[in-house]
Amino acid sequence: MNLLRGKLEEQLGAMRAERKDLAKESGEVKLGDVNAGHVLGGMRGLTGLLCDTSTVTPTEGLAIRNTPILDLTTGSPEETFYLLITGERPDEAALSELQGAFRAHSSVPHYVWNVLEAMPSDSHPMVMLSTALMTMERESKFRAAYDAGTSKDELWVAMLEDVLLLLSRISTIAAGIYRMKFNKGERIAPRTDLDWSANFAYMLGHSDGNDQFADLIRMYLVLHSDHGGGNVSAFAAHTVGSALSDVFYALSAGLNGLAGPLHGLANQECLKFVLSVHERFNGVPSDKQLTEFIWERLNNRQVIPGFGHAVLRVTDPRFTAFHNFGLQHCAGDEIFQVVDKMFNIVPKVLQEHGKATNPWPNVDAASGSLLYHYGLKEFEFYTVMFGVSRALGICSQIVLNRALLSPIVRPKAITTAKLKEMIGANA
Ligand code: CMX
C-alpha cells in the first residue's frame, strides 16, 4: 500500500502540527455551554468530538469530505474509502492499488469459519460478524507493533495494515455468514477479477458480479459508509480505539452498537413494516387506506419506521438515491410501490400530527425493499450489510485518530445528586 501510505505520510506533518497548535493556542476558546439537558439527554447536540471524514447537517445531510453523498453514488466503495481517509479522490494508480489491497486477503482463514460454524444456529448474524472480527484479533499487526515497543508516532502504519486486512476479509465473512445462517448452500469463494462490491454481491449468491444487483450493492456500500463521528457505532469504536485497542476490538464494539434497533437494526424493522402494510391491504393500499392506517398507528403511539431523524430536517439524500434506483429499476414491484406511496403520504400525516421534528424519510425507508426485490429477503441480515459498509468509515476514522495521536476519551460523569445540586446552585 505504498501510494495510500505515502499520501497519508505526506499529509501527516501538517495535520499533527495543526492539532498541536490548536490545542496550545486555542484550548481555552469556548465552543458552547453544557446544560442539564445535555447530561440527561444522551449528550445530544453537545459539541465534543472531532471527525474529519464526513459531516451531517440538518439541511444537506451527509457529505464525505465536503462532497455531498449524492455526488458519490456512481463511484466504488474503494474510491469512497480513499476519499474518507485522505480527503482526496484517488488517481488511477492509487485506485488500482487499493482495489488490489481490498482483494489481497479476501480468502478467510479456516479457523474463522470453524468458530462461526460452532456457534448456535439461532445466533444473530450481527453476533456472528462481531465474533468473526474478534477471532481475527490474534493477527493484529498493531498489537504486535505496540508490544514490540513501536513509537506511538509510527503505530498508525500497523493500524492501516490491520484495516486493509480487515476490510479485505469482512465482505467474504459477511457473505459466508449469509449462506451459513440461511442455509443457502456452500460458501462462494471470492473471484480475482471482481472488485470489492461486485465480489460481495457475487459471494452472496444473488449475482454474477456485473448485474443490477451488483450495482445496487456497490451503491449500498457507498451510501452507508460513514455518518459523522457522533453516532453510536462511530463513537463506540472511537472510544475503544482511543485506549489503543486494535481495530478488531474497536470495530467489533462499533458493530455491536450498530446492532441496536435505534441505530442500524432499524433497517430490518422498516422492511418488516412495509411488508406488513402490503399484507394487511393485500397489495398496495390506496392513498386513503394508507392515510387512515398511518393515523391509526400514530393514535396508538406507534412510530412510523423509516421516517424522522435525530439530526436531519429534510429528506435523507441517501433515501433519495435508493428511491431513484427503485423508480428506475423496480417500479413494477409492489413492495417498492408501498415504499413510494409512503413517501408521498407519510410526511403530510406526520406534519399534521405535529410531533415528529422531522417528517421526512431516512435511509432505512427504501433500502430493504430494493434488497428484497433482488431476492435478498432475509432481513435479519440487513444490519450485517450496513456493517460491512460502515466499516469503511469507522476504519478510516480509526487510522486517522492513531495517525493524529488522538487522546483517550474520558468525559466526566456526575451522580444524580450532584446534578441536582448543580441545578439548584444555578437556578
Ligand atoms: N413516527 C411517529 N412518531 C415519531 C416519528 C415517527 N417516524 N419520529 C419521531 N416521532 C415522535 C417521537 O416518538 C417523539 O414523540 P414523543 O414526544 O411522544 O416521545 C416526537 O416525535 C419527537 O421526536 P423527534 O425529536 O422528532 O425524534 P428523535 O430525534 O427523538 O428520534 C428517531 C429520531 C429516528 C429515533 C425517530 O424519528 C424515530 O423513532 N423514527 C422511526 C424509526 C426509524 O426510522 N429509525 C431509523 C433512524 C435512521 C438513523 O438513525 O440513521
Same domain, 284 and 234: no
Joined together, the cell numbers standing for residue 293 give: 392506517
pLDDT tens per residue across span 12-58: 999 999 999 999 999 999 999 999 999 999 999 899 999 999 999 99
Q: Does residue 360 belong to any structural domain of this protein?
A: yes
pLDDT tens per residue across span 361-381: 999 999 999 999 999 999 999
Distance 358 CA to ligand 1 centre (A): 8
* Predicted pLDDT at 83: 98
Q: What CATH number does residue 281 fall under?
A: 1.10.230.10
Q: Does residue 243 belong to any structural domain of this protein?
A: yes
- Distance of alpha carbon 37 from alpha carbon 50, whole angstroms: 22
What is the pairing mode between strands 61-64 and 54-57? antiparallel
Distance 265 CA to ligand 1 centre (A): 15
Same domain, 65 and 189: yes
> Which atom of ligand 1 is the closest one to the Cα of 297?
2
- Distance of alpha carbon 1 from alpha carbon 185, whole angstroms: 35
- The confidence band for 426, taking pLDDT boundaries of 50, 70 and 90, is confident
Q: Which residue, of 356, 373, 390, is where some domain finishes? A: 373
Q: What's the domain count of the chain?
A: 2
Site residues for ligand 1, CB cut-off 6 Å: 262, 266, 298, 303-310, 355-358, 362-364
* Predicted pLDDT at 267: 87
Distance 225 CA to ligand 1 centre (A): 22
Same domain, 156 and 215: yes
Same domain, 159 and 125: yes
* Predicted pLDDT at 261: 87
Count of Cβ atoms closer than 10 Å to residue 414 Cβ: 11
Measuring from atom 11 of ligand 1, which residue has the nearest CA? 356
- Distance of alpha carbon 300 from alpha carbon 117, whole angstroms: 42
Same domain, 297 and 338: yes
Q: Does residue 329 belong to any structural domain of this protein?
A: yes
Distance 88 CA to ligand 1 centre (A): 35
Same domain, 101 and 189: yes
The strand pairing partners of 54, in sequence order, are 64
Q: Which residue, of 373, 389, 414, is where some domain finishes? A: 373
Instruction: Report the half-sphere exposure of 389 (CA within 13 A, side-chain side).
Output: 24
- The confidence band for 187, taking pLDDT boundaries of 50, 70 and 90, is very high
* Pocket mutation for ligand 1, best pick of 44, 258, 307, 386 (most atoms within 8 Å of C-beta): 307
Q: Which residues carry out catalysis?
A: 263, 309, 364
* Pocket mutation for ligand 1, best pick of 268, 309, 312 (most atoms within 8 Å of C-beta): 309
Whether the pTM exceeds 0.85: the reply is: yes
Same domain, 424 and 320: no
The domain of 350 spans 266-373
Same domain, 297 and 196: no
Q: Does residue 31 belong to any structural domain of this protein?
A: no
